[in-house]
Structure 1
Amino acid sequence: MALLLAWHVTARQLGPLLMATPWEALSAIGPLVRSPQFLANAGASLGRIAVGVCAGACIGFVLGILAGHSARLRGLIEPLRWLLMAMPPVVVVVLAMLWFGLGSSMVVFMTTLMMAPGMYVNTVKGMLHVDRKLVEMTHVYRYGPWLRLRHLYLPALSAPLLAALLIATCGGVRLVVMAEVLGAENGVGYALANARSTFDTAELFAWVLLILGFVAFLEFVFLQPLQRRVGRWMEPSHA
């Protein structure tokens, strides 16, 4: 309530050209959702989020598994990982715009590139904390790579990977919207940029509320319950 009150007071002070009130933003959601452009823009952004986050998570996971087995490969990847995590996302957006132009390719490339390091770091840390005795046991029983991954590494990595996936998914939404604002021909970020250029602050804040609602849905309805379920599964049972 305090946040809504502060928002309302600030909007009244700045005026409708600079900030819509909470009620104006909420009232604009209905017409926005019913507009013909809504499904096209929302669908484009959801597709980019899904592809970018999944690709980044898979690349980070595979590289993390390989680097967890090889100190030499880990040493080769570490400088690149540090560079990507230290580089501001806007720099990657500008470079991607030069290489791919405007559109989905640029947004997906940028999202994938920025999502992979976080998943890689969590995977490597999880791999290094796996009990060496259990690893030796899988060799004694002649487990192949697939059996070792399925029965040893995936259970051990489930908690850190889910935490990384939570961060990657929520961060991926922000990155996709930012990239679309700077250089896309459709999507939620493109719609935000249009609303800003026409000073339609009610629509702009309506989009912001919808984005926040989507992120909250992903985190509190899907990812956090999944984390709790995995956490209960990993807890030792008490007789």
Structure 2
Amino acid sequence: MSVPRRSKRTSRRWSALGVVLIFAGWEMAARLMGPMLMATPLEALRAIGTLAGDPGFWTHSRDSLARIAIGVGTGCGIGFALGVLAGHDARLRGLLEPLRWLLMAIPPVVVVVLAMLWFGLGSGMVIFITILMMAPGMYVNTVKGMRMIDAGLLEMGRVYRFGAWTRLRHIYLPALAAPLTAALLIAACGGVRLVVMAEVLGAESGVGYALANARSTFDSGRLYAWVLLILALVALLEFLLLQPVQRRLTRWQEPSHA
């Protein structure tokens, strides 16, 4: 047990050093490029305090969080449901394969342009893009997980005549826990980036909209303050929510020690 703990401590130290190096590089780049193009880390941190006192800050944050929750949650739910069905039925899997390939191959910017034509500006466009981009990744991981389930477990379920819910709860979900939680981690972090990008290109509120405004007025302090807040949101999602969920769901896979 001591070796893994020592390894974790070493990894954390090097991660902390990596963060310090990033901020040091940011400071050097800001000094070279000048305040109009890049704010220093300290200026960005000070701008966060100014943002927090602005009523628009809470409106933009609320709109973006709602879009992330709806878009990522719905997209992952659709991908999971279709993945379970396709894992059962090779015909459905073959039918969905061209659509999966198309959605994973098309650049997100193209989807944004099309969604702007179909939905106009606003939440509908952003949520549609997020759902469309999140579903394929969850679908692929679910299908792969379904196809890797031990055939003996599936045969046991048939012998004991497990119902659909019992099979899902006691056979499929435990086997799918590792790939699905990893896919959800990637989807949540990618969903934040996708929502912000869509808001920059075609929304009338949200963090991306605020970023675009800060860029247009050359307010680099406010611009990089929003960048720091986006990074903080991704860190909160990953380290405080998704990683604990992943460890809990995959705890049964860890080797037991006497």
TM-score, normalising length: structure 1: 0.97
Task: Note if contact 2:121-2:203 (Cα within 8 Å) is conserved in structure 1.
Answer: yes
Equivalent pairs, count? 239
Give 5+ residue unaligned stretches, structure 2.
1-19
How far does residue 150 in structure 1 lie from its aligned partner after superposition? 1.0
1:108 and 2:108 are equivalent in the alignment:
no
How far does residue 228 in structure 1 lie from its aligned partner after superposition? 2.0
d(CA) in 2 for partners of 1:73 and 1:2? 49
d(CA) in 2 for partners of 1:220 and 1:235? 20
Q: Percent identity, please.
A: 71
Q: Which of the residues 70, 90, 110 maps onto 2:89?
A: 70
d(CA) in 1 for partners of 2:30 and 2:110? 32
Match of 1:3 in 2: 22
TM-score, normalising length: structure 2: 0.90
SS of 1:19's equivalent in the other structure is: coil
1:149 and 2:198 are equivalent in the alignment:
no
Q: Out of 84-93 and 5-14, give the one that drifted further.
A: 5-14
d(CA) in 2 for partners of 1:19 and 1:235? 46
Match of 1:195 in 2: 214
Match of 2:247 in 1: 228
Give 5+ residue unaligned stretches, structure 1.
none
d(CA) in 1 for partners of 2:54 and 2:124? 26
Q: Which of the residues 51, 61, 68 maps onto 1:32?
A: 51
Kindly report the root-mean-square deviation, in angstroms, between the aligned alpha carbons of the 2 structures. Answer: 1.1
Deviation string, structure 1 residues 69-93 (Cα, Å, up to 9, x no partner)? 0011101111111111111111111
How far does residue 236 in structure 1 lie from its aligned partner after superposition? 4.7
How far does residue 15 in structure 1 lie from its aligned partner after superposition? 1.5
How far does residue 214 in structure 1 lie from its aligned partner after superposition? 0.8
d(CA) in 2 for partners of 1:33 and 1:211? 14
Deviation string, structure 1 residues 11-45 (Cα, Å, up to 9, x no partner)? 12221111111111111000101211011000000
Match of 1:96 in 2: 115
Deviation string, structure 1 residues 107-138 (Cα, Å, up to 9, x no partner)? 00000000000100110000001111111111
d(CA) in 2 for partners of 1:107 and 1:226? 27
Match of 1:128 in 2: 147
